[in-house]
């Protein structure tokens, strides 16, 4: 049985003062469900404030990106050790990073190896654009992102990885995929290659999330699917009343 997992991706929203206010407002709701692995990924400048509030609560903190190098002349980047100082999780290869900041399967793979080497739990994002979807290329794109992104990872490390299937046409658009559709894509383009790469047992232990316009009103539709273990939530995770309800919907 895979433990349900729900992560908030606040993207580039909230100052430290606003982040403190939001996480404090959510805290009782977040704490009321203990059977779900819960993670907040706020902007890097707010991470210390958020991690201080969440310390000892059982709710994890993550960054939205990370560099693979240990230190050096990489202006604007965060090293794994810097992330590790405050966080247990890191989002890698989000489609916005791939689209606007030139992330590739190769850089995702380097970041993934660095995260695992530093005992961070990586949330690796994959998903097709609207164009790719309409051209019937969903399978090709997602299978490639899985095979290249998770290349040369050991079975012992693979079980620690969390994968988020986020069809790009569903992110921030209000147009979520349906539960059935997301479940089918995950089965075909994520579980199958994972089985080929790591074997049935390991592939069956890896958590796979759905992301893209998840809110409390549609969350259960995804969580009821056999291949979906939770969600990566953007817009609705900035709402103190909605995000805890999504977590509640993921309860076993």
Q: Report, in Å, the least distance between residue 106 CB and ligand PGA.
A: 22
Cross-strand bridge partners of residue 211? 232
Give the nearer residue to ligand PGA in terms of CB position, either 145 or 157: 145
Report the DSSP beta bridge partners of residue 60: 39
By beta-carbon distance, which residue lies closest to ligand PGA? 234
Name the helix (H) or strand (E) containing 179: helix 179-186
What's the count of helices (H) and strands (E) in the chain, helices before strands?
A: 12, 8
Q: 193 or 212: whose CB is closer to ligand PGA?
A: 212
Structure tokens at 250: 């993921």
Please identify every residue annotated as catalytic.
Answer: 94, 166
CB of 149 or CB of 234, closer to ligand PGA: 234
Q: Which residues pair with 92 in a beta bridge?
A: 124
CB of 232 to ligand PGA, least distance (A): 4
Site residues for ligand PGA per CB under 6 A: 9, 166, 171-172, 211-214, 232-236
| Kind and range of the H or E run holding 67 | none
Q: Shortest distance, CB of residue 39 to ligand PGA, whole angstroms?
A: 12
Question: Could you give the CA distance from residue 143 to residue 200 in angstroms, rounded to a whole number?
Answer: 17
Separation of alpha carbons 234 and 129, rounded Å: 17
Give whichever of 59 and 202 is closer to ligand PGA, judged by the CB atom.
Answer: 59
Minimum CB–partner distance for residue 8 and ligand PGA (Å): 9
Ordered alpha helix ranges (H), 150-242: 155-158, 179-186, 192-205, 219-223
Element of type H or E holding 50: helix 47-54
């Amino acid at each position: 049985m895979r433990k349900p997992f729900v992560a908030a991706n606040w993207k580039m929203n909230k100052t430290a003062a606003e982040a403190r206010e939001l996480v404090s407002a959510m805290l009782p709701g977040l704490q009321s469900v203990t059977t779900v692995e819960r993670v907040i990924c706020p902007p890097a400048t707010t991470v210390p404030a958020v991690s201080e509030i969440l310390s000892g609560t059982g709710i994890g903190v993550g960054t939205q990106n990370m560099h693979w190098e240990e230190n050096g002349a990489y202006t604007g980047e965060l090293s794994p050790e810097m992330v590790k100082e405050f966080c247990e999780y890191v989002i890698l290869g989000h489609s916005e990073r791939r689209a606007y900041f030139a992330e590739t399967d190769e850089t995702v793979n380097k970041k993934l190896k660095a995260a695992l080497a530093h005992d961070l739990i990586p949330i690796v994002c994959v998903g097709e654009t609207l164009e790719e979807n309409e051209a019937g290329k969903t399978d090709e794109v997602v299978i490639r992102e899985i095979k290249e992104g998770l290349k040369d990872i050991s079975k012992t490390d693979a079980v620690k990885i969390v994968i988020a299937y986020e069809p790009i046409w569903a992110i921030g658009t209000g147009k979520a995929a349906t539960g059935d559709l997301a479940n089918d894509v995950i089965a075909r383009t994520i579980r199958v290659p994972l089985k080929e790469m790591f074997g049935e047992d390991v592939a069956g232990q890896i958590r796979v999330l759905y992301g893209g316009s998840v809110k409390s009103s549609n969350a259960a539709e995804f969580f009821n699917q056999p291949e979906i273990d939770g969600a990566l939530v953007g817009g609705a995770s900035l709402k103190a009343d909605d995000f805890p309800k999504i977590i509640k919907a993921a309860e076993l």
